[in-house]
């Protein structure tokens, strides 16, 4: 099976940009590369439901228990499982713009302490054991301060699932900070994670410079 490379980070951290760039750079080395982006808002039944959830159709985001929310995201991947396993069999590398770690970070951020730890373990069980989704080979965390991420969100093109410039989660700086904190907690406890700094000396590094950094961490997975 091909390596499964996952690009993670808070909203506006540059995941989409870097996943696309990494796909092009690896393709330029002659490798067969497939890029998948989760949630699959348009392709799956649960992806549509996630769009509705983010637009507040099931109530305020803090009214929906994070366990229930996590099931929507896991089910979107379960519905996509054959697409993912086919890609892993037919390509030399598969890149995911968000994957299971997004569920851990976003839902984990809504709880604290022992409750958070229990939810993180439950989500891993649902995704990797109950739904038998493939485990990543490498998780690249694009780490960016919330103020810079929000500036990037403001510059984004319109998205398929929302007509708002920033969805309800992206608008909430406190929430984004908690998500970043959970990502950093995960990155320090799991050896398959690599943290890539998007900012140096208070300034966002260029898209190409961050891309070089990511490529340098991905190439050893083929060794």
Instruction: For the segment 3-22, give every residue that binds ligand ADP (CB under 6 A).
Output: 9, 11-17
Question: Quick check: 103 and 72 in contact, CB under 8 A?
Answer: no
Instruction: Provide the minimum distance between the beta carbon of 114 and ligand ADP in the complex, in angstroms, as a whole number.
Output: 30
Contact 110, 81 (CB under 8 A): no
Residue 179-208 contact track with ligand ADP, rule CB under 6 A, x = bound = -------------------x-----xxxx-
Rounded to whole angstroms, the Cα distance separating 78 from 5 reads 18
C-beta of 201: minimal distance to ligand ADP in Å?
Answer: 14
If one asks whether residue 37 binds ligand ADP (CB under 6 A), the answer comes out as no
Residues in 127-156 at the binding interface with ligand ADP, rule: CB under 6 A: 152, 155-156
Strand 4-8 and strand 93-97: pairing? parallel
DSSP string, 83-141: HHHHHHHHSSEEEEES-HHHHHHHHHTTS-HHHHHHHHHHHHIIIIIIS-PPPPSEEEE
Q: Quote the least distance from Cβ 160 to ligand ADP, whole Å.
A: 13
For the bound state, the minimum distance from the C-beta of residue 158 to ligand ADP, rounded and expressed in Å, comes to 11
User: Among residues 91 and 204, whose Cβ is nearest to ligand ADP?
Assistant: 204
**What's the DSSP call for residue 222?**
G
Residue 114 makes contact with ligand ADP by CB under 6 A:
no
Size of the site for ligand ADP (CB under 6 A): 17
- Locate 186 and state its tokens: 């995960």
Structure-token pair, residue 110: 């809504």
Note the residues at the interface with ligand ADP (CB under 6 A): 9, 11-17, 152, 155-156, 198, 204-207, 210
């Amino acid at each position: 099976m091909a390596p499964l490379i996952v690009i993670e980070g808070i909203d506006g951290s540059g995941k989409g940009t870097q996943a696309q760039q990494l796909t092009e750079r690896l393709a330029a080395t002659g490798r067969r590369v497939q890029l998948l982006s989760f949630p699959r808002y348009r392709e799956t039944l649960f992806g549509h439901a996630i769009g509705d959830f983010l637009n507040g159709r099931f109530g305020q985001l803090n009214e929906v228990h994070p366990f229930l929310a996590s099931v929507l995201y896991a089910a979107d991947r379960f519905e996509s499982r054959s697409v993912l396993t086919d890609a892993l069999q037919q390509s030399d590398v598969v890149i995911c713009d968000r994957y299971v770690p997004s569920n851990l970070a976003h839902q984990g951020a809504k709880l604290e302490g022992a409750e958070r730890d229990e939810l993180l373990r439950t989500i891993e069980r649902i995704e990797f054991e109950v739904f038998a989704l493939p485990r990543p080979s490498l998780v690249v965390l694009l780490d960016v301060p919330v103020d810079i991420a929000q500036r990037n969100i403001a510059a984004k093109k319109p998205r398929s699932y929302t007509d708002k410039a920033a969805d309800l989660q992206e608008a909430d700086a406190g929430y984004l900070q908690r998500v970043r904190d959970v990502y950093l907690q995960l990155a320090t406890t799991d050896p398959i994670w690599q943290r890539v700094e998007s900012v140096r000396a208070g300034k966002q590094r260029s898209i190409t410079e961050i891309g070089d950094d990511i490529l340098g961490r991905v190439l050893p997975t083929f060794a």
